[in-house]
Amino acid sequence: MHIVADPNIAAVREAFSDLGDVQLVPGREWTPSLVRHADVLLVRSVTRVDARLLKDSRVRFVGTATSGVDHIDREYLARRDIAFAAAPGSNAQAVAEYVVSAVLVLAEARGLRLIETTAGVIGGGRVGSRVVRLFSALGIRCLVNDPPLADTSGDARYRPLDEALAADVVTLHVPLASQGPYPTQGLIGREALSQMKSDVILINTARGGIVNESALKQRLARQDHMATVIDCWEGEPHIDPELASRSTLSTPHIAGYSADAKLRATSMLHAAACEFFAISGRWSASSPMGPEITLVSRSPEEAQREAVLLAYDVREDDRTLRACLSRAPGALGRSFDALRANYRERREFSAHAVRFGPRAAALQAVLADLGFRSGSAPAPD
């Protein structure tokens, strides 16, 4: 069996070598001739899988190591009787932790009290629900907008879009859809932006096309109190350097790039492929625990911020992208891809144990709500 895979999929050669020979090719370099004799394709979001790519191929299975599937023509795969698997929810925790890190950074810069902060969570699915859980642990009140869930459940906790847009923080967690009953393409345009507070914190970790970047730039030019956190961009990897420079925090589409999320996605695709081909795979994902965190903070609020930023500080990723913004457009695009391909190892909160002082039971409880584990021994008091 011949397998063509994106090398940015974690441990993909190790995982799939028990199914066949694995050829690694960067996702933006895939061509019809490359995949013509492949049985299995394993992609990420940078590769468009459709009739153009698959015509005259013998491909029988396509897997994407992503939650989003807007880069896959699933109707075409179904017509060709090509099996398909994705990794829904594999990076949900990583994205939620990215959002928490960004909010804590900006809250400190602005002197915000989280207990007095509201968040409009646009999309209450796998990622949005985790954001709500973590925000609630921080004391942030959430207004969740999700029309599909509201229509199917009738649950009053799902609020109208205008209510969510009026919050102190607006964070986006919807799929990209240009058609159908719930389109999200350009959802955050001039009208939606006009409904937001002058000092709103807008976070996009969903897809670039959900935000109208031209309208956002106009809003930023008029209103300098607004803060933006942008991880997903229109036209990736050729992002708008002007918008990236103006944005408060700009990162190269890595919100879901924890090592844990990547291995989780590979494991999901491996299991799906083994089931489809009726093969008993030998590979299983495993990763060591992350470094232990020792806290010096005394209050729960300080401990939350300290632990989160020791585990993952979004400003590091902002600095790496910002250092590339003065490059020529082609070079910037290559740098954007390189930052993703060579991303540092980042672990989720649950991979870290936290050491507390001997009288820090309250701190232990609030950090457990964020997913941190207790360390093996108390820190010096």
3-state DSSP assignment of residue 46? coil
Catalytic-residue membership of 207: yes
Comparing CA positions, the residue from 100, 72, 98 lying closest to residue 84 is 72
- Known catalytic residue at 253: yes
Alpha helices in 278-323 (DSSP H): 300-311, 314-322
Euclidean distance between CA atoms 39 and 45, whole angstroms: 20
Catalytic residue among 44, 71, 173, 253: 253
> Distance between CA atoms of 66 and 86, rounded to whole angstroms?
6
DSSP letter string, 139-150: T-EEEEE-HHHH
Residue type, 288: P
- Residue 245: partners with Cβ closer than 8 Å, 6 or more residues away: 322, 325
Extract the tokens encoding 359.
């009288």
Q: Find the catalytic residue in 173, 207, 219, 264.
A: 207
Up-side HSE of residue 136: CA atoms within 13 Å toward CB? 12
Q: Which of 163, 236, 292, 301 is catalytic?
A: 236
Active site residue 163: no
Q: How many CA atoms lie within 13 A of 45 on its CB side?
A: 25
By annotation, the residues acting in catalysis are 207, 236, 253
